[in-house]
Structure 1
Amino acid sequence: MPRLFTRSRIAGKLPSFVSMLRRAHSSTSLPTDWNSRPEFFKFTAARWVCNEEHEMAMRHVPFDMNELAKLAAQSVGAARCVNVEQMGQGLFCKPFIFTMEDGSQVVGKVPTRNAGLPHFMTASEVATMDFVRSLTSVLSLHADLIVYSQARNVLGTPAPKVLAWSSRASESPIGAEFILMEVARGIPLAVVWDEMGIEAKCKLIVSLGKIQNAWASTSFSQYGSLYYAYDLDHSQPCLLTKRDGSQVEEPRFAVGPSNARSLLDDGRINVKFDRGPWDTVEQYKRAVGYREISCIQQMAELPPVAVGLYGPRTYTRSRPKKLAALDYYLQLVNHLLPTDPSISASFLWHNDLHYQNIFVDLEKPWEISSIIDWQSSDLRPLFDHVQKPFFLDHVGPPLKLRERPKLPENFSEMSPEAQKEAENLHYLMEMSAYFKLLTYRDTRTLYHAMEFAETKSFEMMQLVQKLAEDGEAMYQWLVKGLEEEWSNLPGVRAAGNPSFPFHFSSEEASTIDQDAADTELGMELMSSLKVSLGDLCPDRGMVRQDSYDAARALLRQKKEELMAQLGCSEDERRVWDHCWPFDN
């Protein structure tokens, strides 16, 4: 019999989030000054091993918590707020739970300085949450265009309702941007996932598939992020296309600049470039190349690399080579795009579906009761929205549509530990295969987008997303080897099979090959370093507070061991001191 989830199975396992709600609900004390709690305004969840002063400053947000607590009470018609608690510490916002005298609760969030461009991030998040919860009912018809008014639910996405908000710090009563919203119904999936049986998990995947099917039912005429029309200086009403081809004009909403993290992280928030909106998929994808060019040209220091150790005796990053790789990309991009317009169309999606952002019903955990954290959601081509939910992610061999995952042939000869690891991977692959099969059955367009995401064309568009940090050597190597596959690219066939546009001399080819080999060495060294660091390995530069000193000491030791392993000279050691990614 498959295991079914029951409430008793998680007794005593509710996370701090749920426990915090209970504590907040029972609290009756009222501090005289919420602003006297410095932890509300600082980031204390971790420390950075590199550039810590800057990272901390980006997450220190002064605002009037007393006023925010009053606004939270007013938003639900309560007399006063009697308790405020942090809901963890986000990298891009400060979330809080406010409990009122009558026991009602409100969630509040204040964006940090690194969250996004002032006004735009908050304004877009509020409009997006409104849009996914409801659209509007028919007002009038003319030709094949439908004009809507009066709210009605169309996308069917359960998301918290926004109660109050301000996207302009200068006009905000708390002196900062903020959003107040309903508490998400249910409990985080993280609470129950490990205790759910295979039948319950399959039901959950079906529920998620229905929500994604709804997202795939409505495309947009532009690429960027969603806003209320009045929050943009220049805008035109949203023009939506339904699955049956009919068009819908939604005058309340408009498409404006993109708030995707790829346009903000690693210093991009301070660089001037085209942030949209864009009218065609080619404009959208070309803007990626021009964005990275602007970053490479304008940044005083290139962003740190997360996947490789680059310096003397490995690969040395090069701005000219980065610009050359981007020049290749801009000449190739129209040949890399798929010819199927349905998977190139613009869709609104939630691209951060992990355990904590999906809430489920406690009694029926396969029923999704809310999806939270719509910050940075944007309008992209469908083929850029194809990543699996993170709880189905795994490292393993790719699966064809109707191929069932198999245990290794030598499974019986493995150690008990290796067998357990193989079984866990097999289980995740089973879940992933089921998700893929369900997508094929119910949302065929999304499945075709998933197929395109496994092509060389998609790989070459994805690799340029962070060329300011890393990837120029591998990109040039891929371009060099593209001639053999040139005629198979979708855009090449559609353009009448033009000839391959590049020629590499033997010297250029040799340099490209050597750069790729040096890059691969740097990636292998970084992988080995992360394994040797274990729990002390920084995650996006962060380590736990209590691990900071030990992590810094071990990283210094590993740097010395690396330089000795590579046989570095004194001059090369000084270069490594500068390019080592784990030093302040």
Structure 2
Amino acid sequence: MRIPPILHSLKLNVNAIKIPKPQLLRSYSVHASAQSIRPDSKSLFEHTTTRWLCNDEQEKKLRYTLFNVEALERIACRSVDAERCIAWDKIGEGSYNKVFMLRFDNGTQAVVRIPCPVVGNVERATASEVATMCYIRERYADVPEMPLPPRVIAWDASYRNPAETPYIILDYAPGVTLMSRWPWIEGESAGAALASIWEIEKRLLGEPLSQNGSLYFADDVTDELRSRPLFHDARRVGSVALKAQLAAKYRIGPTTNREWWRGDYGQIDADRGPWPDMQTMIKSAAEFQLRALDAGLGISPPFGKSKPSDTPLLRRLLAMCIRIAPDIIPSEPVASRYCVLNHPDLNLNNLIVPEDGKAFVRAPIDWQGATVSPLCMQCAIPPAVLNRGLIPVPRDGSTPPWPDNFDMMSEEEQGIVRIHHRFAMRTRYYLQRISTFHSVRQLTLELPHSSVLSNLVPFITRCVADGPLELRGMLMDLQEKWDQFADGPCPIDFSADEVAEHAAAAEALEEYTRNVTQLYREIDCLDDGSVEAEKFEDAQKAMEQCRERWDEKAMKGPFPLFEGAHSYFLS
């Protein structure tokens, strides 16, 4: 295996922002002002760490969060038994939340998370996120190996509270993100991280709940949902006392997955769960998008990819999804009928580990949007250990190979290859753990249509905003493999000409995507056109220079960065 000569130009995303370590509070005079030291209002309310090279104002507006600072301070002080909050620090700002560290006069510190409007149904998402973290802490409190979310100190999911915003106040989890250590750690240190990730998934994926949706406190769902059981099989759940405690306190309610609630889609009348089975979920997703089409959502610019001429095809694809729903469900009941909880985004930035020593996970953070879904939708390799590097992971389980020309590489190139080899070895380790210790998950991953089972509902809920191409390709893949997993005639009826037309369109899109990726590398922006705020002006200049050189015919498509361009967050 040879590595391309451009190896040295590859960039590793290893400069993750660290969560601050515990430190001594700054010295303040006893005669200091009663007001805490805070960031300015711009930093408190606006998204300040990132700018977008197109749609900048709209992207920032979706992340603007106005709240009553003094009221939130008073709430936080009561929650930690402090007289006064003495300082705020913004320690995180992602696509969906702002995260602040608050320090108090009694020496304590706490983390405050403020969700942004881009989340969709912010109130529902906040209530479910808190319930999910509390459930996991209660359910696994007596399991020493299980990493637990930070403790929720105080929260309110409503805008109708003194802080005038939903908020979650959490214990501070000291450490750094696993991302900041992942490329460099080896041996027992890396093994501790892998064991922690495995423990999270082993516990969560091994315990079936009663329905598909999201977790809530029982008081936050309707009377009808409160009457339904929490567990599919309560015999798997700890002691009698623990079962009774959890069964009384928690319930499954509607999904909090953002795709069902984003923007104007949140106003569509749709069945958002909880669903009794996967078949019903697929049908509900397709009907949800059909109603969006009826309402005229996403069919014209700005921000979406679909055109009015795509409407007949989208309706046809969604009708196909409804027809095939009963036929694609795996025959192994555990794979499709077990409704299991998992972390919504188990990536390296959401795992807090010690700054040095063994990198065991102290706290998995950011449970926003967590769902209870069929095992076949939850069992893919988690992003934290998924290999996306230069070194392939052999399907036969053998050791990932070193490049044939490794000895001829420079020291710098060899260093990069070693890092990617570590990534590949970790993926191999995780796959071996699944094969050895989780047979149902292994069987599910080996299904010929496993990727469809995992991604069909997400593709359905995005098909109007993102255009029909990806959903059509998935259905054509199902049509081709139908005899490998289903009995009876295939209800998907694409003609040979349609398959050929799609293949040509997909090939052109793939080439265009490669060109766009190279463009973003030149500009040094992410694939949504975002850049660090301090690099915005330089990136703008680089963008305009690239725009002048862009040849639509040669690049297989238009220059991608323009006002009104497609945006995952705005569509």
1:30 and 1:36, CA in 2 relative to 1: closer, same or farther beyond 3 A?
A: farther
* Structure 2 residue 364 is the aligned partner of structure 1 residue 371: yes
Deviates more, 1:511-520 or 1:123-132: 511-520
How far apart in 2 are the matches of 1:109 and 1:575?
33
Paired residues for 1:315-330 under 5 Å: 318-330=310-322
Correspondence for 2:3:
none
Instruction: Determine whether 1:522 maps to 2:513.
Output: no
Output one character per residue of 1:433-474: Cα deviation in whole Å (capped at 9) or x when no partner: 101112233333333333348646437726435212336235
2:249 maps to which of 249, 252, 273: 252
Among 304, 323, 342, the residue aligned to 1:349 = 342
Residues 13-412 of structure 1 correspond to what in structure 2 (within 5 A)?
17-18=19-20, 21-22=22-23, 30=33, 32=35, 37-135=41-139, 156-170=146-160, 172-234=161-223, 235-236=225-226, 237-242=228-233, 250-265=247-262, 268-302=265-299, 318-344=310-336, 345-362=338-355, 364-395=357-388, 397=392, 399-400=394-395, 402-409=397-404, 411-412=406-407
- Shift of residue 298 of structure 1? 2.9
Matches of 2:99 and 2:216 in 1, distance apart? 22
- Cα separation, partners in 2 of 1:305 and 1:387, compared to 1, 3 Å: farther
Query: RMSD of aligned C-alpha atoms?
Result: 3.8
Deviation at 1:317, TM superposition (A): 7.2
Q: Distance in 2 between matches of 1:96 and 1:576?
A: 32
Residues 18/230 of structure 1: CA separation in 2 closer, same or farther (3 Å cut): same
Q: SS at the partner of 2:401? A: coil
Q: Report the AA paired with residue 508 of structure 2.
A: L
Counterpart AA for 2:96 = F
User: Shift of residue 558 of structure 1?
Assistant: 4.6
- Give the TM-score taking structure 1 as reference length: 0.81
Q: Give how far 1:102 is off.
A: 1.7
Task: Give unpaired runs (5+ residues) of structure 1.
Answer: 1-12, 137-150
Aligned: 1:548 with 2:536: yes
* Pairs aligned (count): 538
Matches within 5 A, 1:469-548: 469-470=465-466, 472-477=468-473, 479-480=475-476, 482-489=478-485, 492=486, 497-504=487-494, 509-534=496-521, 535-548=523-536
Shift of 1:32: 2.8
Cα 1:560/1:37, change in 2 over 3 Å: closer
Q: CA 1:213–1:415 in structure 2 vs 1: closer, same or farther (change >3 Å)?
A: same
Mapped to 1, the partners of 2:302 and 2:186 lie a distance apart of: 39
Partners in 2 of 1:38 and 1:575 — Cα distance? 29
SS in 2 for 1:193: coil
Cα distance change, pair 368–417 in 1 and its aligned pair in 2 (3 A): closer
Per-residue CA distance 1:510-545 (angstroms, 9 max, x = gap)? 244224312331232132122133243343232222
Which letter maps to 2:429? Y
Q: Do 1:200 and 1:365's aligned partners in 2 also have CA atoms closer than 8 Å? A: yes
Tell me by how many angstroms 1:363 deviates.
5.6
Q: Residues of 2 paired with 1:577 and 1:229: CA distance?
A: 46
Identity among equivalent pairs (%): 22
| Kept in 2: contact 1:529–1:558 (CA 8 A) | no
Deviation at 1:252, TM superposition (A): 0.9
Change (3 A) 1:224 1:530: same
